[in-house]
Amino acid sequence: MNGSAANAGFPANVIRNQKYNLASFIPIVLYEQFKFFFNLYFLLVALSQFVPALKIGYLFTYFAPLSFVLVVTTGKEGWDDWKRYKRDEEANSQIYRRLIDDGFEEIPSSAIKVGDLILMEKNQRVPADCVLLRTTELSGACFIRTDQLDGETDWKLRVAVPYTQKLASDQALLRATANVYAEKPQKDIHTFVGNMSFQIPPEGDHVEPLSAENTLWANTVIASGNALGMVTYTGIDTRAVMNTSFPSTKVGQLDLEINRLSKILAVVTLILSVAMVALNGFRGLWYIYMFRFLILFSSIIPISLRVNLDMGKTVYSQQIMRDENIPDTVVRTSTIPEELGRIGYLLTDKTGTLTKNDMELKRLHMGTMSYGGDSMEDVREHLISAYGARQGTEPTFRYKRARDIASRVRDIVQALALCHNVTPVIADDGEITYQASSPDEVAIVKWTESVGLALYFRDRQSIRIRAADNQMLDFEILEVFPFTSETKRMGIIVRDASTGEIFFYQKGADAIMSKIVQYNDWLDEECGNMAREGLRTLVIGRKRLSEDALREFNRRYTEAKISVSDRNASMQKVISETLECDLELLGLTGVEDKLQDDVKTTLELLRNAGLRIWMLTGDKIETATCIAVSTKLVSRNQEIYQIAKLTSPSQAMEELNNLQGKTDCCLVIDGESLQTYLDRHRLEFIEMAIRLPAVVCCRCSPTQKAEITKLIKKHTGQRTCAIGDGGNDVSMIQAAHVGVGIVGKEGKQASLAADFSVTQFSHLTRLLLWHGRNSYKRSAKLSQFVIHRGLIISVMQAVFSSIFYFAPIALYQGMLLVGYATLFTMAPVFSLVLDKDVSEDTALLYPELYKELRKGRSLSFKTFFIWLTISVYQGGAIMMLATWLFEAEFVNIVSISFTALIFNELLMVALEIYTWHPYMIYSEVITVALYISSMWVLKADFDLTFILTTTSVWKTAVITAVSSLPLYMLKLMKWKWNPPSYTKLEG
C-alpha cells in the first residue's frame, strides 16, 4: 500500500488562484483594457499622430493620458496577482509527513500524489481528499472541522476503515496488499461510494465498503487526535476545488453605461466631422480633412474620464473603510463601489450571517408543564429530588403529584442527556467542551449540564453522565441511529448499567415524530407556538425494551445490514416496525439560534428599500424555516410554501402550478428539488421565484448557490449582492455583482474572496443605503460633467472651424489643451466626489429613496442628451459672443474664449454641487489663482497688455454670464415647480 505504482495520470496537488502567468499577463490585461471602447478609441487617435497628414499638436498630449491609465491599471492588476501567487505558494509549501518504509518523510503539499499515505496532526489542514485508514483513537473515530467546505462550524465525526484500524502499527499498512476503488471525481461533499479490498492469504479477499464517513475532504481540518489517510483525489479533482468557481473580473453597471455613452459620443464625433466636410462641399482631400476633424473632436470622448472615475472609486473606498459606524470594513475590489447603490437582489447565507451560530435551549414543554427563563431553576430542583430518591435518600414530597413531576422531569432530561451524538472533549486545563455535527445537540447537552446532568464521558460503546450530587450514571450504547435529512430524527438504544433496563430514545422533527409517539392533544399546537417564536423544535420520546424484544430487533437488523439490494430501506423498515411505534411522548424542546445584532431591523430596512431577499443555506429545511420566521424574512401573515424531495419533472411542474396564485408567500425549497428544477424546468422556476417576496433554499451545495446567483443575474438583469461568512459561500460571493464577506467564526475565506468585507450583517444597511447611494450619485454626476467638459470644447472647435471656412485647424493647442483637462478644471470637478444630495440621517431613515437609484435615472440617455444640449448652448454662446464682442481684437480670440470657458466650468461646478464643502471652495479659489498666474507663464497664448484691460474683463464677464446664468435660472425654476422627492423629506 505504498501507492508507488498507481499514482501516474492524476492532477498535481497544487492550489492555484492566480488569474495570470508570465506569458498571459500583458495580453490579458491589455485585452481587458482595450475591450472598453474608451481606451480603444484613444489608442487609435494616439496612433494616428504617427501619420504626418493627420498630426495635430504635440504627440505627448495624446499618449501621456492613455499611458498613465494603462500603467496604473496594469500595475494594480500585477500587484493583486502577485499577492494571490504568494498566498498560493504559502499553501502549496505546507509540510506534511508521508509514511514510507523507513518511517515518515516530510514533503510539501504540492508533492503529494494519489496513493500516498499521509499523516495529519491535530489542527492541520487536510491537503487532498483521503480515505481515513487509522486514527490515534482506539475506536477509529476522528473529528474534523468542515467550516471552509460546507460552512458548518460544528465538528463532524469520521471513522477509520475497520480493518486498517485494527492493524498492529502504521508500518503494517505498507506490508498489506490492498486496492481502493473510488468513484470518479464529483462535487457532492455529502456522499462517497467506494470499497477497499484486502488480499489476505489464505482466506482470500476481504472487502470493506467505503462511505462519506470514511473520508477526509481537502480543506477540512483535523480537530481531534492524529489521522492517517490514503490520498484518493488531488488538485482539481478534490471536492473543495470542484465546488469553487474561479473569479472573473467584475465590471460595474455604471462602467458599462458609460461605455455605451462613449459609443454614442463616437457617432456624434463622426457626424460632426462629416458635417464639417460636407458644409465645405467635400473639397480637396476631404477624407484627410475628415480624419483631422475626428482627431480635433476627440476630446468629446475624454480620456480623463477614466482617470477621474478611478480616482473617485478610490475616494469612495477610503470613505467606506474610514467610516466609524462600520468599523473594520475592508474594500477589496475598489472598482465597483457604485454597484452598492443599485442592488435589486440580496442573496444571504444563514449560519453565521443572519445568525451567530450560537444555540441556547429556551423552552421545555411536557404537556401539562412548561419550563423556560427563570423557571429552569425548578428543573434543577426536580432533578435533585428525583436522583435523591434513586439513591435511596428519599426526599419528603408533600404531594404524590410532586413525585410524579420530578420523575417526569428526570425522564426527559435523562433522555436529552443520552440521545445525541455529542462527544465531550477534556482540555489540558480540565475544562470540558462538547463537539457534535449539530449545534442544536451541543446546546441541549450544555443545558442538561446547567440543570445538573452533565455528559462526562462517551465513546462508541458507553456513555457516562454526572448528576448534580456527583454520582455517576453509566449506560451501555447498544445501537445508534444517526440523524439524516431523509429520516429527520435520531435514536439510540442504551442499557442502564445500574438497573439493567433497556431504553430506546428518539428525538426528531415534529412532523415525523407526531406519527411515531402515542396520541396526544397538545404537541401540534405547542410546536406551532414555538415555531412562531423562531425556536427550533425537537420532540423526544422513549420506549422500554425487553431482552426478547432487543434480541428479535438485533436479529432482523443484522439481516438487513448485510442485504445486497436496497440496504438502507431494509434497515429503516426494521427500525420502523420494531422500535418506532407507540413511543411514550416525554416532551418538546425549543432551541434558539441567536440572531446577529440588529438583523431584523436590517432586513426590514432592506426590504423597504425594494430589495428582494433570498436565503441560500446548507442547513435543514426546519432550521432554515425557523430562522426565516425569527428574522422576519417571512412576515407574520405570509404563508410558507414548502417544496421538498422532488425528483420527478412532472411533480415539479405540478408544484409550480400550485404556486402560481400564491404571489405573497415565502417559498422554501430543498437542494434536491432545486436541482430538479435547474435541470428540467429552469426558466419556469426562476420566472415564478422572482415574483415572490422571499425565497429560502435549503441543503444548497456551494455550486447551487452560485448557479442560483447567475440565474437571477441573467433572468432579471438586476444587480445582485451575495453575503456570507464561510468557505461554502465563496462561489456565490464571486458569482454575484457584489460580494460581501463577513469575518466570523467560520474563518476569513469568504471575507478574503469578497469585494467588501464587514464584521456583521447589520453593516450592510449603511454600506448600501449610504455609501452605495453616494458612490453611484457622485460617479454619475462626475462622469456626465467630464463628458460635458469635452463636449463644450468640441462645440467651440466646430464654431471656430466654421468661421475659418471649415478648415481643420486646432483652436487650442499644447499646454492649453492639457491644462484644460487637468490643472485648470480637474480639482473643482473632482470635488463632486465629496458631494451628497441628502443627509446621512435621511438616507437611513427613508430606505424608500434607494428604490429610485435602481431605475438608473442619475445616468441615462435622458440626462446625457440634457448635458449634450447644455454643451451645445454653452460652447456656441461662448464662441459666438467672443467673435462678436472682440471682432476688432480677433487675434486674441483664443485667450478670450479660453478664459470664458474656464470660468464657465468653475461656475458650472458651483451650480451642480449640492453641498458647498471646504474642499470645493478651496479648489475653486486655488484654480482661479493658478489660471491667472499661468497667464504670465504661457505668454505665447496670452497677451497680458490686452487681457488685463477693463474692456477685456467686462466683456469676458458678459460672455461667462450669458453662457451660465440661464442655467441657474432654469435650475431655480425646476426646484420651485418640480423639486426632487428627498427635498420634501428634508424640509
Give just the sign of the alpha carbon dihedral 530, 532, 533, 534.
Answer: positive
The size of the chain, in residues, is 987
What is the grid cell recorded at 543? Answer: 420506549
DSSP letter at 563 equals -
Q: Tell me the C-alpha distance between 902 and 911, whole Å.
A: 14
Three-state DSSP state, 210? strand
Report residue 9: phi and psi, to 5°.
85, 5
- Residue 986 to residues 155, 835, 861, 910, 973: CA-CA distances in angstroms? 52, 16, 28, 21, 19
Give the integer Cα–Cα distance in Å for 593 and 537: 11
**Distance, CA of 419 to CA of 438 (rounded, Å):** 13
Question: Which backbone phi and psi does 574 adopt, to 5 degrees?
Answer: -65, -45
Cβ–Cβ under 8 Å, residues 680 and 673: no
Amino acid at 12: A
Cα 339 to Cα 854: distance, rounded to the nearest angstrom:
10
| Other C-beta atoms lying within 10 Å of the C-beta of residue 343 | 26
> What are the Cα distances from residue 262, in Å, to 298, 337, 791?
11, 21, 12
404 annotated active-site: no
What are φ and ψ of residue 423, in 5° steps?
Answer: -120, 125
C-alpha distances (whole Å) from 488 to each of 156, 165, 508, 943 are 17, 31, 6, 89
Distance of CA 918 to the CA centre of its chain: 37
- Best CA proximity match to 754, nearest among 725, 711, 720: 725
Torsion angle (degrees, nearest 10) of CA 819, 821, 822, 827:
130
- How far apart CA 923 and CA 830 sit, in angstroms, is 9
Q: Is 168 exposed, middle or buried (0-12, 13-18, 19+ CB in 10 A)?
A: exposed
Q: Is there a contact between 537 and 590 (Cβ–Cβ < 8 Å)?
A: yes
Taking a C-beta distance cutoff of 8 angstroms, is the pair 686, 715 a contact? yes
Separation of alpha carbons 37 and 306, rounded Å? 12
Residue 438's alpha-carbon distances to 154, 316, 359, 427, 435, in angstroms, are 6, 41, 10, 21, 8
Catalytic residue of the set 255, 349, 593, 729:
349
- Identify the helix (H) or strand (E) that includes residue 557: helix 547-561
Q: Which of 179, 171, 165, 169 is nearest to 207 (CA)?
A: 179
Q: Identify the CA nearest to 265 among candidates 310, 293, 297, 295.
A: 297
Q: Do 522 and 532 touch, CB atoms closer than 8 A?
A: no
By DSSP bridging, strand 665-670 and strand 612-616 are unpaired
Report CA Rg, the chain.
36
**Residue 4 backbone class (left: φ over 0; alpha: ψ -120 to 50; beta: rest):** alpha
* Cell matching residue 831: 470635488
Q: Are strands 584-595 and 612-616 parallel, antiparallel or unpaired?
A: unpaired
Distance CA 114, CA 96 (A): 14
Residue given cell 426590514 in the structure block? 604
Instruction: Please confirm whether the linkage preceding 202 is cis (ω < 30° from 0).
Output: yes
Cβ–Cβ < 8 Å for 376, 751: no
Grid cell of 711 as nine digits = 440565474
Please identify every residue annotated as catalytic: 349
